[in-house]
């Protein structure tokens, strides 16, 4: 992103490094000479739903890398590259802080925006809730339903399902969540307003089968039907 805006990320011979995390392995210096002039007149409001710092055990490499297929060795390497990148950035922008909450968002884009542009990080789910006026509908709801592709420990760090749940609890509404899959760490969601969550997979299947839109639609509908059959029995008593 920063290279597209005119920031030069250079190796030891003054050549542009390749895009992506792998390019940071060879990053030796950052040059601002060719940054597009309009950038200084821009303000950015960044929707950010995670609190991870740039580096370390809770950094973007360690937390988000495994989701993208990174091995433990690659994660360690990427974390070191990002630490070096942060040091170089701080030489240009003294206020750069890789420990700040949210700097690890989207593979480090949080740090990039905060350091290199005039930007603020805001809760993405709060922006969505404000724009959709979802709170208005919660007031008269009997139950609130939310969901995500995968519920895990990251969900509890401020992603959309937990944002919805916290707002619903303002009105003491029960909250259920459906997900394509769940992890052991998803129990953290129960501590953050989600009363119960349910994976929708009905049988052992390949990732391709699970991601098929028609299969996903049927799995969600079938799971929701069984959950609400139980809810109906409870409501009758």
Q: Which domains does the chain have, with CATH numbers?
A: 8-124 (3.90.1510.10), 132-236 (3.40.50.10350)
On the question of pLDDT at 135 being above 90, the answer is no
176, two tokens: 């259920």
Residue 27's nearest CA partner among 96, 117, 106, 91 is 91
pLDDT confidence band for 127 (50 / 70 / 90):
confident
User: pLDDT by residue (tens digit) across 24-36?
Assistant: 999 999 999 999 9
> What is the share, in percent, of the chain residues with pLDDT greater than 70?
100
CA pair distance 218, 114, nearest whole angstrom: 42
On the question of pLDDT at 6 being above 90, the answer is yes
Integer CA distances (angstroms), 15 to 1, 28, 36, 84, 87, in order = 17, 10, 19, 17, 19
Integer CA distances (angstroms), 85 to 21, 28, 68, 92, in order = 10, 8, 21, 11
Q: What is the pLDDT of residue 125?
A: 81
Residue 201's nearest CA partner among 183, 184, 216, 186 is 216
pLDDT confidence band for 131 (50 / 70 / 90):
confident
User: pLDDT by residue (tens digit) across 25-76?
Assistant: 999 999 999 999 999 999 999 988 788 999 999 999 998 888 788 899 999 9
Q: What is the pLDDT of residue 160?
A: 84
CA pair distance 72, 61, nearest whole angstrom: 10
Q: What is the pLDDT of residue 16?
A: 94
CA pair distance 137, 151, nearest whole angstrom: 24
232, two tokens: 């109906």
pLDDT confidence band for 117 (50 / 70 / 90):
very high
Q: What is the pTM of this model?
A: 0.67
Q: What is the pLDDT of residue 20?
A: 83
- Phi, psi values for residue 138, rounded to 5°: -65, -35
pLDDT confidence band for 134 (50 / 70 / 90):
confident
Taken as a whole, the chain contains a residue count of 237
Residue 165's nearest CA partner among 150, 182, 147 is 147
Mean pLDDT of 146-159: 84
CA pair distance 96, 86, nearest whole angstrom: 7
On the question of pLDDT at 85 being above 80, the answer is yes
Mean pLDDT of 159-185: 92
């Amino acid at each position: 992103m920063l290279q597209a805006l005119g920031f030069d990320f250079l190796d030891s011979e003054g050549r542009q490094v390749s895009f992506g995390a792998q390019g940071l392995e060879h990053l030796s210096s950052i040059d601002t000479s060719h940054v597009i002039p309009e950038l200084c007149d821009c303000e950015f409001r960044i929707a950010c739903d995670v609190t991870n710092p740039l580096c370390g055990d809770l950094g973007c490499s360690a937390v988000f890398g495994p989701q993208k297929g990174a091995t433990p060795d690659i994660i360690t390497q990427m974390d070191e590259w990002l630490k070096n990148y942060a040091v170089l950035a701080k030489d240009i922008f003294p206020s750069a802080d890789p420990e700040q909450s949210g700097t690890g968002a989207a593979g480090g884009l949080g740090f990039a925006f905060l350091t290199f542009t005039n930007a603020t990080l805001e809760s993405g789910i709060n922006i969505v809730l404000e724009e959709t006026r979802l709170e208005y509908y919660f007031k008269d709801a009997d139950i609130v339903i939310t969901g995500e592709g995968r519920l895990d420990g990251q969900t509890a760090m401020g992603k959309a399902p937990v944002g919805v749940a916290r707002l619903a609890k303002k009105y003491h509404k029960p909250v259920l969540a459906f997900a394509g899959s769940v992890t052991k760490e998803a129990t953290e969601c129960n501590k953050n307003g989600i009363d119960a969550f349910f994976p929708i997979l009905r049988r052992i299947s390949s990732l391709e089968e699970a991601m098929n839109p028609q299969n996903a639609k049927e799995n969600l509908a079938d799971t929701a039907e069984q959950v609400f059959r139980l809810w109906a029995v409870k409501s009758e008593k």
